[in-house]
Structure 1
Amino acid sequence: MYVRDADADGPTVMVVGGMHGDEANGYTAAGKIKDWSIDAGKLVVLPEANKNAIRSTNRIYNDGTDLNRQFPTGEEPTTSLAREIWDVVVMEDIDFLFDLHSSYGIYNSGDGGVGQGIFSTQAGGATSYRKELVSYLNANYISNSTYDYSGATSSDGSSPMLKHKVGAISTQEPSFTRRPAKTTDRSPSRSEKRPPQYRSSSNGSASSPIRWRMTET
């Protein structure tokens, strides 16, 4: 786990990648995000949440468990790894969650895939933030409308996913799942959206004084 604290006050944003070991876009993007410089608030990044699954390039891990289905609302997470991840959510008292995945196909295209989809909960202003993010990505990074981002809003707590558990604990903690299409010969690579108060530098150095701490998970 990587945590960056800026001197200026701001929200705490958590980014998770690698819940599913066969979704390289998610953990690759999170691995880059952990090196971003921040101007305000706190950035918490868990780039490879499911390391065993990533090593084996499998969606599931060890005992055949889907890590992103172990976060029931109103109950303890059902595996030790899920509980460790949830402990971070609680300990850091996060304001936003971005859970990064990847998928084949294009959401709403009729091909059965959910790629290029951004899915929010109903918590806080998540739906409006999602729509703003979709518009920003399409305007700034997508040159072929075939690959436009879209998305949907789902009920908080409606599924035992991490984003739903976060969304259900408070109406003030928006959470999102972003699923860029897996890179193929017909789908160009995408740039990652940076929340407005965060910006990256080429060498990962801070533009303002930053406290850096790293914890292995």
Structure 2
Amino acid sequence: MLVQQYTLSPNTPYSTLYYMARSARPGPAVMIVAGIHGNETASIQAANKLVRMIGKDQLLIHKGSLMIVPIVNKKAYRQRIRGVPDLNRTFPRKAGQAAKHPLSAALFEAAKRYRPSWYLDLHEANGLSQRNAKVLGQTLITNPGSPAVPAARKVIKTINRSIANHSHYFNLRLHELPGSSRTAAARILGARAVTIETGWSLPFSTRVQYQIDIVRRFLSEAELMKG
């Protein structure tokens, strides 16, 4: 499949690449972002690998379209830091409100133009949620009452069946985070928005594979690709 490359916020210090893949058949629009935090490298690797997989027809888009922004915050990524300020607190909190950072503003304007029905935000976090309910490592997060909840529960059930070590299991968290890209996409765009959090303590290759496997399952739930 042809994957087209574009530039978000061109000719600025925040310039970064994003990619579009479109099926000939009409269908849902799905948006995937990674690298909002520059030190969450497995999620970035997973997003870049997804782009390559689509380009090599290793992941087939059955209908609709897919937008992937693999490294939102390139400056933070180059330094391998979360980012200052934390970009995931600078997105609009309600319709008509401006983002608090040029980069989050550019990303959200792109999202508003694209109008995704699904929005997946790839992240990483401390801990393993199966061992400690207070940590976010190995979780899917969506807003309470979100229409994404049934799909998220189904994805967790399916992915956990494939995980031999029960301490690596994923769990669902229902939590609004005003200022985050996920909550902005849900509140303002009406997207089924989910954050995917792998646990930093796991091997890098394992985290990358979990991210890819979960994204593929959500693409199937969105009917973008066949199950």
TM range, smaller chain: 0.7 to 0.9
Distance in 2 separating the partners of 1:84 and 1:187 = 31
Aligned-pair CA distance for 1:173:
1.5
Does 2:181 correspond to 1:159? no
Between 38-47 and 103-112, report the one with greater CA deviation.
Answer: 103-112
Tell me what 1:147 maps to: 168
Does 2:67 correspond to 1:44? yes
The 5-angstrom pairing of residues 173-212 of structure 1 reads: 173-184=191-202, 188-189=206-207, 190-191=209-210, 192=212, 193=214, 194=216, 195-196=219-220, 197-198=223-224
Bigger helix fraction:
2
Distance in 1 separating the partners of 2:111 and 2:30 = 10
2:130, 2:168 within 8 Å by CA — same for their partners in 1?
no
Aligned-pair CA distance for 1:184:
3.8
Unaligned runs of at least 5 residues, structure 1: 201-217
Return the letter of the residue paired with 1:152: R
1:123, 1:175 within 8 Å by CA — same for their partners in 2?
no
Distance in 2 separating the partners of 1:117 and 1:187 = 17
Distance in 2 separating the partners of 1:91 and 1:123 = 25
Aligned-pair CA distance for 1:123:
6.1
Tell me what 2:48 maps to: 31
Q: 1:86 to 1:143 in 2, by over 3 A?
A: same
Aligned-pair CA distance for 1:59:
0.3
Return the letter of the residue paired with 1:16: V
Aligned-pair CA distance for 1:67:
0.7
Unaligned runs of at least 5 residues, structure 2: 1-17, 55-59
Aligned-pair CA distance for 1:151:
1.7
**Higher relative contact order (Cα pairs below 8 Å, separated by 6+ residues):** 1
SS of the equivalent of 1:102 reads strand
Aligned-pair CA distance for 1:135:
0.8
> C-alpha root-mean-square deviation of aligned residues, in Å?
2.2
Distance in 2 separating the partners of 1:103 and 1:85 = 22
Tell me what 2:137 maps to: 115
Aligned-pair CA distance for 1:77:
0.7
Aligned-pair CA distance for 1:116:
0.5
Identity of aligned residues (%): 22
Aligned residues: 193
